[in-house]
Chain A
């Protein structure tokens, strides 16, 4: 990693350069303006229910929060500091045992100071989500 955080391209800035994203093994699946998809693979140490081997909902929370941030950052013209105001997550069903999670977020409205995002997460099929989410972010624009 020759680059610094500020000069690194957005995909690296959202994975390698963020210690918690790296610790969870988050990877970028796809990225377009206002939309991002990220993934965490199943790991033994990320299990939330040892009776079933299902990944912890906390991992889903972190992945969704992170993917929402990615969506906002990709929607903005230039990278800008953001802070989550609130995040509501509905856990629709348990993920399947020993399955990783993919999350997609859509920054559908950016004002000068606030970004609104919707997200969903799934294990196998994006049409059968394990969680849906809604978040608002504060944006800090220069000048």
Chain B
């Protein structure tokens, strides 16, 4: 993957304050992007175990989906999340976490993205997410004659 693609991702992270709040990082190998959530004490949701906050894991996967979409549509406005379904499979332990997104379908207006999140081993997923995102490349007001669902 080109330097340009990496710049696109760096720009995405630099522009979104919440991505910096989480400490989100990305790595590119060829056309595969891995998002990295370095462990930080402020990400803990269960201080007894300890375990990462479930909301952090969900937010991390959503940001991974948005970063992958920004790679597919460089320079466009950040897509709007329509809905997400998060499945929690294992507790996220107090260590670095990784995620990869698959763009299952990019339609004209809506993208379906699936994300997997793991720690030690990609075969032992911590969580998964499927989400729909509204693409805003050529945002137009809906008309009565319409062109189908949002």
Does A20 contact B56, Cβ atoms closer than 8 Å? yes
Most B CB contacts (10 A, CB to CB) among A21, A45, A48, A50 go to A48
**What per-residue 1/0 map shows which CB atoms of A96-132 lie under 8 Å from chain B?**
0000000000000000000000000000000000000
Closest residue of A by beta carbon distance from B45: A20
Contact B54 A87 (CB under 8 A): yes
Does A87 contact B58, Cβ atoms closer than 8 Å? yes
Q: Mark A2-34, 1 if CB is under 8 A from B, else 0.
A: 000110000000000111111100000000000
Contact residues, A23-67 vs B (CB, 8 A): 23, 44-51, 55-59, 61-66
User: Counting CB contacts under 8 A, is B77 at the interface?
Assistant: yes
Interface contact A84-B54, CB-CB below 8 Å:
yes
Nearest-Cβ distance from residue B30 to partner chain A, whole angstroms: 27
User: Chain B 47-65, CB within 8 Å of chain A: the 1/0 string?
Assistant: 1100011111011101100
Binding site of A, secondary structure by majority: helix, strand, loop or mixed? mixed
CA distance A21 to B16 in the complex (A): 20
Which of A17, A46, A85, A87 touches B18 (beta carbons < 8 Å)?
A46
Cα(A110)–Cα(B51), bound, Å: 23
For residue B26, CB closer than 8 A to chain A, the reply is no
B81, A91: Cβ atoms closer than 8 Å: yes
From A5, A61, A69, contact of B48 by CB (8 A): A5
Chain B residues positioned under 8 Å from A19 (CB to CB): 41-45, 47
Complex: A20 Cα to B23 Cα, angstroms: 13
Are A46 and B91 touching (Cβ within 8 A)? no
5 interchain pairs, CB-CB under 8 A? A20-B55, A47-B16, A48-B78, A58-B58, A84-B86
On A, residues with C-beta under 8 Å from B are 5-6, 17-23, 44-51, 55-59, 61-66, 69, 81, 83-91, 94
